[in-house]
Amino acid sequence: MKKPKILVLCGLLFSCLVILTACSSQNTTSTKTTTSSSSTTQKATEYYQSALSYLESGENKQAYDELKKIKNISQADKKIQALKNNLKYLLAAKKAVTTADLTTTKTNLDKLANVKTPTALVKQIKEVTKEYQAVKLAKHYADEVVQYYNAQNYTAAGGSLQSLESLSSKYQAVAMLQEQYASYNDKIASAQSSQASSQSSSAATATSQAESSSATSVAESTDSSQAQASSSAENYTNARNSKILNSEYKKETGSELSSAPTAAVSSMSAKMDNQAVLSAFRKATAIPQEAGDQYYVQDLGNDLYQIEIRHTSSADPQVSNLKGMYQFNLSSGVAQKLNEVTGQYERLN
């Protein structure tokens, strides 16, 4: 009778040992898992911080490579996952913009439109966006150069070429377009020279007669007006060719600005100046202000303004190039540029 009892006891003892061993094994495994998870999280954080450091210095590819080192990133903190995804879009946008692929650039930048953190990433997004705006303008101006030249509108072609050349060449795609269209400088200058030679004699005669007939009124102008009137022949070339100034002058006087005395031209130019609007316009469009640019601003009402930009030709200061006729909504910041061939306004931003 004792043997069965002993066997039962032995069985119970064995079962206890098995259970204790299993529990110990589970605890060991759990400890190892916790330790491994903690180590993985720490490593992911280190790679994340390293990526941010690269971003601060503009090394976006290196930042992305750091995050690629993280194993099982799907288990990492959401901010780390988000940074990796956003860096992927940023790199795709940067690659596209350097080859002037504006569609792909915009698609990827749109995915980054609502990114607010981290600060280093936001900074890089702004840089690529700025480059995108410059390349977009460059392509627009380059297309206009060809279109206007073929339409024999040489002052508009020359203006668009000057606009293209005024953009920063630090951007690869912009520099590429500037080099590609540089040959149009000689073509446009030659065409303008031929065009100007047939008009110069009659224009000179008309101006001479106007100056002679208004000699008395000019002499009676104030000293400051005299200084302004004689400050720059190039300014008068642009002013006399301005569509806005001509339109406004004819409304006021019924006469043509081309035959007006210099004092009247200066006065009309001053009326068509609005630095507050121009400042907002440049900020909204990223169109640079080039030395020698002349701006004429017309208030169309309801916060809508027409802005004309002119610049004399580098080949002939007697020729005024039209760099652009724009409509700008001060409230919305939306800017449109007039296509001189189609007569339609095209949105820029």
DSSP conformational letter for 256: -
CA distances in angstroms from 49 to 14, 53, 93, 120, 124, listed in the order given: 53, 6, 23, 11, 16
Tens of pLDDT, residue by residue over 246-268, are 999 999 999 999 889 999 999 99
Across the chain, what does the average pLDDT equal? 85
End-to-end CA distance of the chain: 100
Q: What is the pLDDT of residues 264-275, one digit of tens each?
A: 999 999 999 999
In one-letter notation, the amino acid at residue 104 is: T
Residue that has been written with the tokens 């068509």 in this structure: 272
Give 15-32 pLDDT, tens digit per residue: 655 555 555 555 544 444
pLDDT of residue 119: 95
44: nearest Cα among 22, 24, 74: 74
Q: How confident is residue 212, by pLDDT bands cut at 50, 70 and 90?
A: very low
For the entire predicted model, the pTM comes to: 0.77
Give dist(CA 67, CA 69) in Å, integer. 5
Element containing residue 81 per DSSP (H, E): helix 78-97
CB contact at 8 A, 98 and 174: no
Q: What is the pLDDT of residue 258?
A: 84
Stretch 333-346: mean pLDDT? 97
Give the position of tokens 């601060």. Answer: 56
Q: Residue 71 pLDDT more than 70?
A: yes
pLDDT reported for residue 20: 53
Alpha-helix residue ranges (DSSP H) falling in 214-232: 215-219, 223-229
Predicted confidence at residue 33, as pLDDT, reads 46
Tell me the per-residue pLDDT of 306-325, one tens digit each, with 9 for 90 and over.
Answer: 999 999 998 888 899 999 99
Residue with tokens 């400051």: 224
Question: What per-residue confidence (pLDDT) applies to 296?
Answer: 97
Which of the four pLDDT bands, split at 50, 70 and 90, describes residue 225? very low
- Give the pLDDT score at 229: 42
50-65: b (≥16 Cβ within 10 Å) or e: bbbebbeeeebeebbe
Indicate the residue type of 2. K
Q: For residues 48-68, give the mean pLDDT.
A: 95
51-55, 88-92, 202-206: least confident range: 202-206
DSSP strands (E only) in the chain: 294-301, 304-312, 320-329, 335-338, 345-347
* The residue to which tokens 């820029």 are assigned: 348
CA 249 distance to own-chain centroid: 34
Residue 224 has pLDDT above 90, yes or no: no
pLDDT band at 6; cut points 50, 70, 90: low
- Label residue 200 by pLDDT band (50, 70, 90): low
Among candidate residues 202, 307, 316, 189, the one with its CA nearest the CA of residue 258: 202
Across 213-241, average pLDDT: 55
What is the Cα–Cα distance from 256 to 219, expressed in whole angstroms?
A: 21
Structure confidence by residue, pLDDT tens digits, 137-196 = 999 999 999 999 999 999 999 999 999 999 999 999 999 999 999 999 999 999 998 887
Whole-number pLDDT of residue 330: 97
More confident residue, 228 or 316: 316
CB 42 within 8 A of CB 80: no
CB 133 within 8 A of CB 296: no
pLDDT for 2: 52
The pLDDT of residue 32 = 47
- Cis status, amide bond into 4, omega within 30 of 0: no
pLDDT of residue 23: 52
